[in-house]
A and B are shown apart, each in its own frame.
Chain A
Amino acid sequence: KAGVTQTPRYLIKTRGQQVTLSCSPISGHRSVSWYQQTPGQGLQFLFEYFSETQRNKGNFPGRFSGRQFSNSRSEMNVSTLELGDSALYLCASSLGGGHNGETQYFGPGTRLLVL
């Protein structure tokens, strides 16, 4: 099976702009989670989507949003970018059967730089 793919891999934006990142999960996986990784804060959970519904959300401002499509592909959007949004954004997919803490399969990440 193909792994989790994320596009784009690298992105440079300026403050105030918005950005959309895309994630295609492993075929058959219905849960998609997003994480932000920075040197200072480490890996932090953003949100999880399952069957097109946001099932869980981390402690991030409303500028961070996401959605999931019927084919389980997911997008996350960050509006009004700030310098502190520079990070590696990781998407992970899992079967999503409601099991506690299933193994997650990560994509290569999108590295976002905000200038």
Chain B
Amino acid sequence: SQQGEEDPQALSIQEGENATMNCSYKTSINNLQWYRQNSGRGLVHLILIRSNEREKHSGRLRVTLDTSKKSSSLLITASRAADTASYFCATASNSGYSTLTFGKGTMLLVSP
């Protein structure tokens, strides 16, 4: 079953614009991670934010986490055509396992 729900399902922007994707989840988490997937290939890890963190940056990526609202957002600044991909949030519980529960993803299209 899906834990995370991304919003929007699809997003189309121009190069140079910012892209914001949101993720909501249902149960308590240990951490939340964002992954990128290019057209039917494997997933690439982007960033991990722990439940006691509120914001994290990595290059052009900014992730926020609000555990009271059970939501997270991923901001990609100054988007490039190469950012075109599907983006997934994944939550990790406190089970002690490596298991991640993924949302259905946001498809981002960045046009030149």
How far, in Å, is B17 (CB) from chain A's closest CB?
27
Chain A residues with CB below 8 A from B98, complex form: 31, 33, 48, 50, 56, 94, 96, 99, 101-102, 104
Most buried by A among B48, B91, B99, B101: B99
How far, in Å, is B75 (CB) from chain A's closest CB?
20
How far, in Å, is B8 (CB) from chain A's closest CB?
15
Q: In chain A, residues 7-45, which have Cβ atoms closer than 8 Å to a Cβ of chain B?
A: 31, 33, 35, 42-45
By the criterion CB–CB under 8 Å, are B1 and A90 in contact? no
Give chain B's interface secondary structure class: loop
> When the two chains form the complex, which single residue of A43, A98, A104 contacts B45, counting CB atoms closer than 8 Å?
A104
Complex CA gap A101/B43 in Å reads 15
Q: Mark B75-101, 1 if CB is under 8 A from A, else 0.
A: 000000000000010111111111111
By the criterion CB–CB under 8 Å, are B42 and A107 in contact? yes
Q: Does B112 contact A (CB under 8 A)?
A: no
A-side interface residues, number (CB < 8 Å): 31
By the criterion CB–CB under 8 Å, are B100 and A88 in contact? no
Q: Does A67 contact B (CB under 8 A)?
A: no
By the criterion CB–CB under 8 Å, are A105 and B45 in contact? yes
Not counting A92-B43, A101-B92, A106-B35, a sample of 10 additional A-B residue pairs whose C-beta atoms are within 8 angstroms of each other reads A4-B42, A42-B2, A88-B40, A90-B43, A98-B96, A100-B30, A100-B92, A101-B31, A103-B45, A108-B41
